[in-house]
């Protein structure tokens, strides 16, 4: 496992909070480091107690490493340590304690739908990359409103929600703007993408995400699944429209030079390998 990098970004997102600088060799909790004195930070959006967020440690009794009512507090990374009532990031130190922008103590579960098609010319013929000679994949990418970075249109799994539903719901909200659609339009969107999302897809990744919002006590985990429109006849024909936390949306060529949010380019590399596409 490579040490997390974005989880140690110098300034915590959406704030002026500077993370305590953690060198690579001090990331692991196993390395004793008495001088480590991270700042505690929990964003005002969390301290004002929205329904989707946990209360402060001490103000409630979470069941860590377990399914806690409908809230899944298990980690794909195995059992995590809980120290003085607070879960410890399984990938090590981040330079910030508390929850930052994340609602849950411990794992915050998300799902990432990676919708792909082949890049084709005007005649519908697959376009190969001049360097690799391999066909080029395109994926539906959104520009996040929070940081301006391009990303997979993923989102949080609601308590009790099946991941398969989260994948389809988040794609509909962020890439098809279903939240702003009328009930009739929404039904149409649903009908047109259900076939692709009901296909098994290819599970690309399941586990920790190197997300800039991570802290020592709260972190992102995801299930990333690739749904491939091989014929270019299902989702490829739908008009994309950014919605919810997405500012823009478009089909983007899959290539190793992509600089994307969190560990998303790593997920796309795995999709390209699996589909024998250009990377």
Does residue number 211 form part of the binding site for ligand RP5 (CB under 6 A)? yes
Q: Tell me the β-bridge partners of 226.
A: 114, 202
Kindly write down the DSSP assignment for every residue of 129-197, as one continuous string.
PTTT-SBPEEEEEEEETTT--EE---EEPPTT--HHHHHHHHHHHHHS-GGGS-HHHHHHHHHHHHHHH
Looking at residues 156 to 175 of the shown chain, list those that interact with Mg ion (rule: CB under 5 A): 170
Q: Which helix (H) or strand (E) holds 250?
A: strand 246-253
| Residue whose CB is nearest to ligand RP5 in the complex, by number | 154
Q: Quick one: tokens of 178? A: 């279903």
Q: Is residue 112 part of the contact set for ligand RP5 (CB under 6 A)? A: yes
User: Residues 27, 53, 71, 110: which binds ligand RP5 (CB under 6 A)?
Assistant: 110
DSSP structure class, residue 239: P
- Rule CB under 6 A: say whether 89 interacts with ligand RP5: no
Q: Which lies closer to ligand RP5 via its Cβ, residue 136 or residue 156? A: 156
Nearer to ligand RP5, 41 or 261 (CB): 261
Q: Is 156 in the site for ligand RP5 (CB under 6 A)?
A: yes
Cα(21)–Cα(258) distance, integer angstroms: 27
Instruction: Select the binding partner of residue 114 from ligand RP5, Mg ion, none (C-beta < 5 to 8 A, by kind).
Output: none
The nearer residue to ligand RP5, 70 or 84, going by C-beta atoms, is 70
Structure tokens at 185: 């339009």
- Judged by beta carbon, residue 156 or residue 277, the one nearer Mg ion is 156
Minimum distance between the CB of residue 122 and ligand RP5, rounded to whole angstroms? 33
CB of 151 to ligand RP5, least distance (A): 6
Q: Which residues contact 193 (CB under 8 A, 6 or more apart)?
A: 168, 171, 172, 176, 234, 235, 238
The whole-angstrom separation of Cα 195 and Cα 228 is: 11
Among 114, 189, 204, 209, binds ligand RP5 (CB under 6 A): 209
Decide: is 245 part of the binding site for ligand RP5 (CB under 6 A).
Answer: yes
Q: Is 243 in the site for Mg ion (CB under 5 A)?
A: no
Cβ nearer to Mg ion, comparing 136 with 156: 156
Number of chain positions touching ligand RP5 (CB under 6 A): 13
| Residue 103 structure tokens | 């609602």
Range 116-155, binding ligand RP5 (CB under 6 A): 151-152, 154-155
Q: What is the 3-state secondary structure of 70-104? A: CEECCCCCCCCCEECCEECCCCCCCCEEEEECCCC
Smallest separation (angstroms) from ligand RP5 to the CB of 258: 15
Distance between CA atoms of residues 19 and 157, nearest Å: 27
- Binding residues (CB under 6 A) for ligand RP5: these are 110, 112, 151-152, 154-156, 209, 211, 220, 222, 245, 262
- Binding residues (CB under 5 A) for Mg ion: these are 155, 170, 244-245
């Amino acid at each position: 496992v490579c040490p997390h990098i974005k989880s140690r970004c110098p300034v915590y997102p959406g704030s002026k909070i500077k993370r305590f600088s953690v060198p690579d060799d001090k990331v692991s909790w196993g390395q004793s480091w008495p001088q480590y004195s991270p700042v505690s930070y929990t964003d005002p959006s969390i301290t004002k107690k929205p329904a989707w967020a946990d209360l402060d440690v001490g103000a409630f009794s979470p069941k860590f490493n377990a399914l806690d009512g409908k809230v899944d507090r298990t980690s794909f990374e195995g059992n995590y340590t809980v120290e003085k009532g607070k879960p410890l990031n399984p990938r090590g130190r981040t330079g910030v304690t508390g929850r930052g922008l994340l609602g849950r103590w411990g794992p915050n579960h998300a799902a990432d739908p990676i919708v792909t098609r082949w890049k084709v010319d005007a005649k519908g013929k697959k376009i190969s990359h001049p360097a690799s000679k391999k066909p080029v994949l395109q994926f539906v990418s959104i520009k996040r409103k929070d940081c301006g970075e391009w990303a997979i249109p993923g989102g949080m799994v609601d308590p009790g929600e099946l991941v398969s539903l989260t994948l389809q719901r988040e794609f509909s909200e962020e890439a098809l703007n279903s939240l702003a659609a009328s009930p009739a339009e929404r039904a149409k969107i649903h009908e047109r993408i259900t076939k692709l999302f009901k296909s098994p897809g290819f599970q690309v990744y399941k586990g920790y995400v190197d997300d800039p919002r991570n802290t020592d006590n709260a972190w992102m985990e995801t299930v990333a699944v690739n749904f491939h429109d091989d014929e270019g006849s299902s989702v490829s024909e739908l008009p994309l429209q950014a919605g919810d936390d997405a500012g823009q949306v478009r089909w983007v060529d899959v290539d190793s030079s992509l600089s994307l949010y969190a560990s998303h380019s790593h997920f796309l590399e795995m999709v390209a390998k699996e589909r024998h596409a250009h990377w």
